[in-house]
Amino acid sequence: MEYQKDTLQNLSQLQLDLIKKRKSTVAFSEQEVSKAQIEQIFEATRWAASCFNEQPWRFIVATKDNEALHEKVLNGINPHNQKWAQNAPVLMLTFAKKSFSLNESPNMHSWHDVGLAVGNMSAQATAMGLYLHQMAGIVRDNIFNDFDIPEDYEAVTAIALGYKLDVEDVPEDLKEREQKQRNRKSLNEIIFDQDWGSSSF
């Protein structure tokens, strides 16, 4: 029993270390991400929780071996992000279904659920040695002009996926951003007790 407890504690720490390792790189290698790897990442993605199990997430996925599709997805990303995202071997667009399939009532939680799905994706990608960068900077008009998106779906984000360049290979214009110190708010800034802003953590 003690052995099992120690094993679970070790696994828990490994999982936390993995989550902390996640990084939104802007320096992608041209190394290919295989179809099998993409499928494994999406297997983790599809098991995310969602309100009423609606699973409102949808994805358009383009790899560099389909140059035309890769360019179409890139066209849906704003120019500021295109500068580095164009190097990623995999680009995605994410979508949320605006209503519940059961009764067509508005699903106010669909974006939250897309975020949960991408959280699973991010954790799985990190476990596989891959890096994922989510982008709020998208061009919705281009996306809806270039793709036949059903009326009940809205574009949420774009995602770049791939391997990270070695530090010495990072272009000079991206080095400062790539090496920027990562930081997070402390627990007592985000967890409150009875009074807002008051915390025992």
CATH number at residue 162: 3.40.109.10
Band (pLDDT 50/70/90 cuts) for residue 2 is low
Per cent of the chain over pLDDT 90 is: 72
Higher pLDDT, 133 or 10: 133
Query: Does any domain span residue 198?
Result: no
Whether the per-residue pLDDT at 6 is higher than 80: the answer is no
Q: Is residue 162 part of a domain?
A: yes
Provide the whole-model pTM.
Answer: 0.91
Say whether pLDDT at 4 is over 70. Answer: yes
Residue 170 has pLDDT above 90, yes or no: no
**Is residue 160 a part of any domain in this protein?**
yes
Indicate the number of domains in the chain. 1
Residue 152 pLDDT greater than 80, yes or no: yes
Q: What average pLDDT does the structure give for the chain?
A: 93
State which amino acid sits at residue 162.
Answer: G
pLDDT bucket at 1, cuts 50 / 70 / 90: low
| Domain encompassing residue 125 | 25-175
At residue 12 the predicted structure's pLDDT band, cuts being 50, 70 and 90, is: confident
| Residue 180 domain flag | no
Residue 193 lies in a domain: no
131-135 vs 57-63, strand pairing mode: unpaired
Residues forming beta bridges with residue 93, ordered by sequence position: 60, 158
Buried b (16+ CB within 10 A) or exposed e, 14-38: eeeeeeeeeeebbbbbeeebeeebb
pLDDT digits (tens, 9 = 90+) for 119-151: 999 999 999 999 999 999 999 999 999 999 999
> Residue 3 pLDDT > 90, yes or no?
no
Residue 62 lies in a domain: yes
Helix (H, G, I), strand (E, B) or coil at 97: strand
Are 163 and 131 in contact, with CB atoms under 8 Å apart?
Answer: yes
Q: Does residue 125 lie in a domain region?
A: yes
93 domain-assigned: yes
- Confidence at residue 164, expressed as pLDDT on a 0 to 100 scale: 93
> Does pLDDT of 24 surpass 90?
no
Checking if the pLDDT of 49 tops 90, the result is yes
- With bands split at pLDDT 50, 70 and 90, how would you rate the model's confidence at 14? confident
